[in-house]
């Protein structure tokens, strides 16, 4: 498993959601990720089969009872040879364990200490519980998504994964690059509410310029425009269209055989309900695959709306190996793609690596056995 992060050791404090997703990205890029589990918790932090869980891939696992001083000492030994720590606890938890940034950076001044939270390390809400829908609400994102009646959450893609995990991964890569010049690590405060806010930067800009209305279903990109949305076909399946540019729209109305005066007035928003009704009627005349035959691969900006079973089987995805079958189930393959340091799909997680990880940290067999007998390490 090469990849651009080969040689980088990452210590991940086991968790759920954005922390594991960030660690998955780092493992996908070739990092050696060691997950620290706590006793009497789900080993991999979730209910899924580890063999088929994409978020768990590419890890070695070690279970430490961090309530025991011996485990904290072992943890600090492990961190001495690491470049990155990823943790997703509420603010103050790592400090109370004796593993806060000050102590860890004292043991390893080059350590990049990544902290993933919903609200951030500071601010009035820092210690409050929350989930993706809450974080994107505060960032102004949820208000903009949904139908006229109410906002609808876009799964947990915007807060947990886009605004959280990916921002933390970017922060870690940036801090690793800087540490090569300075020889020093630093702490990364990655808040999902902050990340969701920066994902909204284009829309705040459009709102400031007067080209975005602060109400759902009134803008070109929020589903109001009849030429940027999805339509039901005769078989109940859906397609999506987005011919925003004039030349693409021209091709669209020609291929759809709907080149009427009304469709020439697409910038007149009062005509949008009429255009939508006509397109609904037109798309309902054929099955989804028939529309694919007419429109897919052209410049009309078209795609079938695929479900989780269909997406891995699409010819484009298969040609690019966008998905990989692991233990009989599909997983998204590592991305982005590098021309030289090509990332392979990381292996399934290893839960038998405790002695190996401790030995790499410099503990001899007697020391490892003493930790096991004390209950500080479980294997």
- Give the long-range contacts of residues 39-44, CB within 8 A, separation 24 or more: 39/63, 39/65, 39/378, 41/14, 43/351, 44/14, 44/349
pLDDT of residue 46: 47
Q: How far apart are CA 101 and CA 111, in angstroms?
A: 9
User: What is the reported pLDDT for 328?
Assistant: 87
In this structure, what DSSP letter does residue 68 have?
S
pLDDT of residue 42: 56
- Residue whose token pair is 């806010």: 197
Q: Which helix (H) or strand (E) holds 316?
A: helix 315-319
Q: What is the mean pLDDT of residues 291-320?
A: 98
Confidence of residue 1 (pLDDT cuts 50, 70, 90): low
**Given 131, 143, 314, 378, the catalytic residue:** 131
- Report the distance separating Cα 179 and Cα 260, nearest Å: 61
Instruction: Report pLDDT for 43.
Output: 44
44: pLDDT strictly greater than 60:
no
What is the token pair recorded at 118? 């919903």
Mean pLDDT of the 107-132 span: 97
Please tell me whether the peptide bond between 336 and the residue prior to it is cis, using omega within 30 degrees of 0: yes
The answer to whether residue 318 scores a pLDDT higher than 80 is yes
Tokens of 263: 């469709």
The SS3 assignment for 248 reads helix
For 318-327, b/e burial (b = at least 16 CB within 10 A) is eeeeebeebe
- pLDDT confidence tier of residue 172, bands split at 50, 70 and 90: very high
For the segment 180-211, what is each residue's pLDDT rounded down to a tens digit?
999 999 999 999 999 999 999 999 999 999 99
* Residue 87 CB burial class (10 angstroms; 0-12, 13-18, ≥19): buried
**In this predicted model, what pLDDT tens digit does every residue of 227-261 receive, in sequence order?**
999 999 999 999 999 999 999 999 999 999 997 88
Residue 187 sits at φ, ψ, to 5 deg, of -100, 135
Of the listed ranges 123-137, 215-229, 313-327, 341-355, the one predicted with least confidence? 341-355
Whether 160 is a known active-site residue: answer yes
47 falls in which pLDDT band (50, 70, 90)? low
Structure tokens at 255: 């291929």
The beta strands (E) that lie in the chain are given as 9-13, 32-37, 59-64, 84-87, 112-117, 186-191, 229-232, 238-241, 302-304, 323-326, 329-332, 377-378
Position 269 pLDDT exceeds 60: yes
Sheet holding 238-241, edge to edge: 229-232, 238-241, 302-304
Q: How much is the pLDDT for 298?
A: 97
Name residues whose C-beta falls within 8 Å of residue 297's C-beta, 6 or more positions apart in sequence. none
Catalytic residue among 32, 132, 160, 222: 160
The predicted model scores a pTM of 0.94
pLDDT score of 156 more than 90: yes
User: What is the separation of C-alpha 136 from the centre of its chain, rounded to a whole number of angstroms?
Assistant: 14
Which residue ranges form the domains of the chain, and what is each CATH number? Answer: 9-199+326-378 (3.40.50.10540), 238-304 (3.30.1540.10)
Q: Residue 90 in contact with residue 120, Cβ under 8 Å? A: no
**Among 92, 118, 88, 14, which residue's Cα sits nearest to residue 56?**
14
Structure tokens, 8: 């980088």
- Is the pLDDT at 177 greater than 80, yes or no? yes
Helices (H), the chain: 18-28, 69-79, 93-97, 101-107, 132-138, 166-182, 192-199, 201-209, 246-255, 272-283, 288-295, 315-319, 354-360, 365-374
């Amino acid at each position: 498993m090469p990849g651009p992060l080969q040689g980088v050791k990452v210590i991940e404090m086991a968790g759920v959601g954005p922390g594991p997703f960030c660690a998955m990205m780092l493992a996908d890029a070739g990092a050696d990720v060691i997950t620290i589990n706590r006793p009497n918790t789900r080993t991999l932090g979730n209910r899924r089969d580890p063999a088929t869980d994409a978020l768990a891939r590419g890890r070695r696992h070690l279970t430490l009872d961090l309530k025991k001083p011996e485990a904290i000492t072992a943890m600090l030994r492990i961190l001495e040879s690491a470049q990155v720590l990823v943790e997703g606890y509420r603010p103050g938890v790592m400090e109370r364990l004796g593993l806060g940034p000050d102590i860890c950076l004292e043991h390893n001044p080059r350590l990049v200490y990544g902290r993933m939270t919903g609200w951030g390390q500071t601010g009035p809400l820092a210690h409050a519980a929350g989930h993706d829908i809450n974080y994107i609400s505060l960032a102004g994102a949820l208000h903009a998504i949904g139908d006229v009646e109410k906002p609808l959450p876009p799964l947990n893609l915007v807060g947990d994964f886009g605004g959280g995990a990916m921002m933390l991964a970017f922060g870690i890569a940036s801090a690793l690059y800087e540490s090569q010049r300075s020889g020093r690590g630093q702490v990364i405060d990655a808040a999902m509410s902050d990340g969701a806010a920066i994902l909204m930067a284009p829309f705040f800009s459009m709102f400031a310029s007067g080209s975005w209305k602060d109400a759902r279903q009134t803008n070109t990109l929020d589903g109001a425009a009849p030429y940027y949305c999805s339509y039901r076909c005769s078989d109940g399946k859906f397609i999506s269209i987005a011919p925003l540019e004039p030349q693409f729209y021209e091709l669209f109305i020609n291929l759809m055989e709907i080149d009427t005066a009304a469709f020439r007035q697409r910038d007149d928003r009062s005509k949008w309900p009429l255009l939508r009704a006509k397109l609904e009627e037109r798309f309902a005349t054929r099955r989804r695959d028939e529309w694919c035959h007419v429109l897919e691969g052209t410049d009309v900006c078209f795609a079938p709306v695929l479900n989780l079973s269909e997406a891995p089987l699409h010819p484009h995805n298969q040609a690019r190996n966008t998905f990989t079958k692991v233990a009989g189930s599909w997983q998204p393959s590592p991305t982005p793609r590098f021309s030289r340091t090509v990332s392979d799909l990381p292996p399934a997680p290893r839960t038998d690596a405790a002695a190996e990880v401790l030995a790499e940290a410099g503990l001899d067999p007697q020391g490892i056995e003493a930790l096991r007998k004390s209950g500080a390490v479980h294997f």
